[in-house]
């Protein structure tokens, strides 16, 4: 069994650490607060402190970057943390697995594959693109072993109010109330199941075929908000839920006073046109498929 350093204990980091522990690995979880699942070694540290992260990572087989700064703080929080991760990977020899996202692609037409250029001009997306470019350059120079795993929007047990299918969606569905959306209800969108994200990270950290390139997490066929709501309602034995969409000018106005809502202007394009993640490369290479959608939705409801 190996030694694994999981930095971040949010939606993904908690699933990842729990799965690694269940497989019998030694797991250290690093957060600013020192929290983490039972059975893990819990370390309170500032991830931007490279000396501290190097100290914690020594002797590890894999270092996972599952940190998730608030979106409106990416420009200030990510650069020093990204530099610290690279320093730790180079100093310790641990394989470096980054949890990425799809933002750097920007608006695209058709399914997203890993060979698309990171063409977004959004400053926040450029920060993420630079993180991968820097890690890939260090990998190609032989200084580290690195890969990035990219999911679409999360859903599943442990999803927070940052998930569009999480704390804002489920309570209304369970109560039979109208589900209030900030984006259109009938545009197909790829949704990635949180346990599948954790599984993909583990595969990427343990298989040298993953290193030196990005990968898309195994993800089911795109579904609209309405389709997801109908499938969840059917699993609960209830009628299809009602949905309404807030007018975009209202969302923009509220966003002037709520930072997270204000940031939605940067990602609105993902929900006003079909947004499809192609994960066939990962599935074909590693023989891993996404959890069947109804099984994932049931687990989400049961949680």
User: 77 and 11 share a domain?
Assistant: yes
24 and 143 together in one domain: yes
Please check whether residues 22 and 144 belong to one and the same domain. yes
Q: Mean pLDDT of all residues in the chain?
A: 93
What does the pLDDT average to over 143-161? 93
Say whether pTM exceeds 0.75.
yes
Domain presence at residue 300:
no
What the block records as the tokens of 105 is: 């692609």
- Same domain? 264 vs 235: yes
Residue 298 domain-assigned? Answer: no
Query: Is 252 a domain residue?
Result: yes
Strand, coil or helix: 203: helix
Crossing angle of helices 225-235/293-302, nearest 10°? 70
Q: Examine the domain organization and report whether 8 and 28 are in the same domain.
A: yes
Does 249 have pLDDT greater than 90?
no
Give the domain range for residue 77. Answer: 3-154+192-219+278-291
Shared-domain flag, residues 109 and 131: yes
Q: Would 253 be classed as within a structural domain?
A: yes
Distances (CA, A) of 190 to 150, 161, 182, 187, 252: 12, 18, 17, 10, 24
Residue 11 counted as domain residue: yes
Q: Are residues 168 and 286 in the same domain?
A: no
- pLDDT of residue 257 exceeding 90, the answer is no
Considering the domain architecture, whether residues 148 and 285 belong to the same structural domain is answered as: yes
In a domain, 183, yes or no: yes
Q: Quick one: 210 and 264 in the same domain?
A: no
pLDDT of 258? 65
How many distinct structural domains can be found in the chain?
A: 2
**Percent of the chain beyond pLDDT 90?**
85
- Asked whether residue 35 is assigned to any structural domain, the reply reads yes
Q: Which CATH number is 102's domain given?
A: 3.40.50.720
The per-residue DSSP string of 4-46 comes to EEEE--SHHHHHHHHHHHHTT-EEEEEESS----TTSEEEE--
Name the residue among 66, 13, 71, 61 with its Cα closest to residue 40: 13
């Amino acid at each position: 069994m190996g030694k694994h350093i999981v930095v971040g204990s949010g939606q993904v980091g908690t699933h990842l650490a729990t799965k690694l522990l269940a497989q019998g690995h030694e797991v250290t979880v690093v957060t600013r607060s020192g929290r983490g699942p039972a059975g893990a070694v819990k370390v309170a540290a500032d991830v931007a402190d490279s000396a501290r992260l190097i100290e914690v990572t020594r002797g590890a087989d894999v270092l996972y970057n599952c940190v998730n700064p608030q979106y409106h703080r990416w420009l200030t929080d990510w650069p020093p943390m990204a530099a610290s991760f690279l320093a730790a990977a180079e100093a310790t020899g641990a394989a470096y697995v980054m949890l990425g996202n799809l933002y750097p692609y920007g608006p695209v037409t058709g399914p997203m594959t890993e060979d698309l250029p990171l063409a977004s001009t959004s400053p926040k997306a450029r920060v993420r693109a630079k993180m991968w470019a820097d890690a890939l350059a260090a990998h190609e120079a032989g200084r580290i072993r690195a890969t990035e795993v990219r999911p679409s929007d999360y859903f599943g047990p442990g999803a927070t109010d940052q998930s569009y299918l999480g704390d804002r969606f489920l309570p209304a569905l369970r109560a039979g109330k109208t589900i209030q959306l900030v984006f259109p209800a009938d545009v197909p969108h790829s949704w990635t199941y949180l346990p599948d994200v954790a599984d993909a990270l583990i595969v990427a950290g343990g298989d040298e075929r993953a290193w030196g390139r990005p990968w898309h997490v195994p993800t089911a066929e795109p579904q609209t908000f309405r389709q997801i709501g109908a499938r969840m309602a059917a699993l609960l034995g209830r009628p299809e839920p009602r949905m309404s969409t807030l007018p975009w000018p209202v969302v923009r106005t509220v966003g002037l006073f709520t930072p997270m809502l204000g940031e939605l202007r940067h990602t609105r394009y993902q929900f006003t046109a079909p947004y499809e993640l192609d994960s066939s490369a990962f599935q074909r290479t590693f023989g891993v498929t996404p959890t069947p959608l109804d099984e994932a939705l049931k687990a989400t409801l049961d949680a």
